[in-house]
Amino acid sequence: MATDNVDKPREFALEKHVKFFKRSLEFLPYQYSSADTNRMTLGYFCINGLDLLGKLDILSEEQKKGYIEWIYAQQIHPDPNSPDENKPICGFRGSPFAGSPYAPSATNTEAAKYDRANLAMTYTALLLLLALGDDLSRVNRKAIIESMPYLQREDGSFCPCYESRESDMRFLYCASVVSYILNDWTGIDIPKALSFIKSSQAYDYGIGQGPSQESHGGSTYCAVAVLDLLEKLDSSVINQEKLLEWCLNRQETGFQGRRNKPADSCYSFWIGATIKMLGGYELIDFTQHRAFLMTTQGGIGGFAKWPDVYPDLLHAYMAIAGLSFMNEPGINPVNPTLNCSLGVTEALSKSVFHREKSMDTTSG
């Protein structure tokens, strides 16, 4: 790929990015008000962003403990006093709804019926707890795993919460990471999940959100990561060689998420991590990729979707994760499959559920 007309490399504004994430933990502009129910995910971008930058120590131990307690306050537990039809689907919600901490017996019955966990929020909550140094000992693994079959559709996909009408590759990924973190895959019908992934690979070998849907960088990432977690990446579920070619063809300067779309900073992770898992990252044009990302770097810190657009949390985190793959100074290595730092991966190996695995192995 040509590298003409590439501007002089811009400096990565590490300290500005640290301030951007720290400020966002404390106060968000009004434009984020519509995302209040996704507060867990916003926290994930901030905390994990600081972790990638090696700056989690700017948070005091008291602050970290406060965040941990808030996260556990969003955990939905079984309610033994609720009728069977109103039993909550367990896991974590995105923010306080009918009460904080979750206490359905102390709230309006009708409201509490809808105060249910969300798979995406459970995924981000678990990674947040690990990043903050928690060992997951208060996570109700049994309740979460037993809730999962209610969220898996007949075609193998997952929906985010009980009775939701949407189901696709994103939530299969969330269910898979949750199962991996909790070291229990019994909540997923794996043959159905694999069939769903296979049937979602499109004519051009990219992967869509479901069968007969357009190939997309996000859903391609989710599918490949699920196969990686299941140790099925080298099986015949998908055509890896053609998929890698599809991913590499998404690079213009940065990466686009679909054909005929402009480059977008977040795909430096979604596509970049997929290429990383497929073993072809050395084939991308590093110079063009970094140059594009630097055009989206905000003057106040963070990264935007495109040049000359205001930075936001999602694109800030994803762009920094993408830069990590290119060994940008000041950024910690990223686990491409779990979408967290290698430090969080190490913390996972020491968590209560993975210590069990280690003990089982040594005792055997």
* Rounded CA separation 351/83 (Å): 34
Which has the closest alpha carbon to 254: 322, 355, 161, 350? 322
Instruction: In whole angstroms, give the CA distance from residue 82 to residue 173.
Output: 30
What are the backbone dihedrals phi and psi of residue 255, each rounded to the nearest 5 degrees, phi first? -105, 140
Peptide bond into 211 cis (omega under 30): no
Q: Is 251 strand, coil or helix? A: strand
Neighbour-count burial of 313, counting CB atoms closer than 10 A to its CB (0-12 exposed, 13-18 middle, 19+ buried): buried
Q: What is the pLDDT of residue 100?
A: 61
- Domains belonging to the chain, first-starting first, are 35-350 (1.50.10.20)
Say which residues have a Cβ less than 8 Å from residue 16's Cβ, sequence separation at least 6: 298, 299, 300, 301, 302
Q: What is the reported pLDDT for 89? A: 84
> What is the radius of gyration, based on Cα positions, of the chain?
20
Distance CA 211, CA 221 (A): 16
Residue 183 burial (CB count, 10 A): 18
> Which tokens belong to 36?
């209040």
Nearest to 59 by CA among 36, 74, 43, 35: 43
Mean pLDDT by 10 residues, the chain (364 residues): 50 98 93 91 98 98 97 88 65 81 59 78 98 98 96 97 93 98 98 98 98 98 98 95 98 97 98 98 98 97 97 98 98 98 97 72 37
So what's the pLDDT on residue 357? 59
Q: Is the pTM of this model over 0.85?
A: yes
Half-sphere exposure of 108 (CA within 13 A, CB side): 6
Residue 343: what pLDDT?
97
Paired tokens of 27: 């106060």
